[in-house]
Amino acid sequence: MRRILFTLPGNEGLATAIATAMDAEQGALSLRHFPDGESYVRILSDVKGKQAIVVCTLHRPDEKLLPLMYLCRALKDLGATTITLVAPYLSYMRQDKAFQPGEAVTSAYFAALLSSFTDGLVTIDPHLHRRSTLQEIYTVPCEVLHASSLISAWIKKHVKEPVLIGPDSESEQWVSVVAHDADAPFTVLEKTRLGDADVRVTVPHVERYADRTPVLVDDIISTARTMIETVGHLKAMGLKAPWCIGTHGVFAGRAYEDLLAAGAARVITCNTIPHSSNAIDVSSLIVPALEHLLKEKHLPITDPTQP
């Protein structure tokens, strides 16, 4: 089966790496906005009878969702056999329950929407907190990948005598794996979030690691308040300037600059979201998972307009 890969703006680097590794044709698109702000999508390549792969990481999802849906629906209308979405960062995973009465549980609604116009999803370290698998909310087959092995290899290569620090007790399961593979000790913090950008952390006794380089690892750096708070505590306790590693560098507003200004020695992210801090390439994870999904698990798309 022939494959054709389409890229939404901002994903070109990763998409080219995937297309090259899979020997897939790169599809041509015309995307723009009409003067009134509505989206225009035109597919310029022949997609009939081909397996379409769409690469679109989903930070700032509200502005991406409609063009993405229009593209996927048009691919199907033009005869693509399957639509597989590669979204290295999957958004709307943190609102996984109503914390206040009346709140929308957007992780479930978002999952239903993506599942309605795709046949499969490949993603990396989605924020699974109160849910144990994506299949609890996604009705299409999902390949969930983990960047932990790439992060530990990077730490092993670049940081001398590290001690890994996780932001909260939930992170222990994967920080312990990264630490084990990087041959480093680790500890985790107690974190309380009081608001979108108001985070308090309690740092356990880390004085014994005074000779080591602290490496903060988290799945998401969004406002960076979690890391900024931690950096402040570690500095106050006399530790070396920490390195901060996030799988997904969302960096809301001036989060990146603020984190550096707070005293982070370096800020490193995976290229799941394009950013100048990207240093860990995830394309080697995506290609085999995509092959597996395309060969083994693909289901025909269901047309929500048909009874």
- Binding-site ranges for ligand R5P (CB under 6 A): 167, 199, 218-226
Shortest distance in whole angstroms from residue 173 CB to ligand R5P: 12
Closer residue to ligand R5P (CB): 75 or 175: 175
Residue 84 vs 187, nearer CB to ligand R5P: 187
Quick one: tokens of 193? 């979030």
Whole-number CA gyration radius for the chain? 20
DSSP 277: T
65-98 CB burial, b ≥16 within 10 A, e <16: bebbbbbbbebbeeebbbbbbbbbbbbbbebbee
Reference 72, options 29, 15, 105, 37; nearest CA is 29
We find the least distance from the C-beta atom of residue 187 to ligand R5P, in angstroms, to be: 15
- CB nearer ligand R5P, residue 26 or residue 95: 95
CB of 131 to ligand R5P, least distance (A): 13
CB closer to ligand R5P out of 119 and 219: 219
Q: What is the DSSP string of 109-139?
A: HHHHHHHHH-SEEEEES---SS-S-GGGT--
Closest CA to 181 of 213, 216, 157, 207: 157
For residue 157, count other CB atoms closer than 10 A to its CB: 8
Report the residue number, 199 or 301, with the smaller CB distance to ligand R5P. Answer: 199
Write down the residue that tokens 């999957």 correspond to. Answer: 90
The residue among 135 and 173 lying less far from ligand R5P, judged by its C-beta, is 173
Name which of 57, 29, 92, 8 is nearest 275 in CA terms: 57
Residue 140 Cβ vs ligand R5P, minimum distance, rounded to whole Å: 25
Q: How far is the CB of 145 from ligand R5P (least distance, A)?
A: 17
Taking the complex as a whole, the smallest distance from the CB of residue 220 to ligand R5P amounts, in Å, to 4
Instruction: Tell me 294's DSSP state.
Output: I
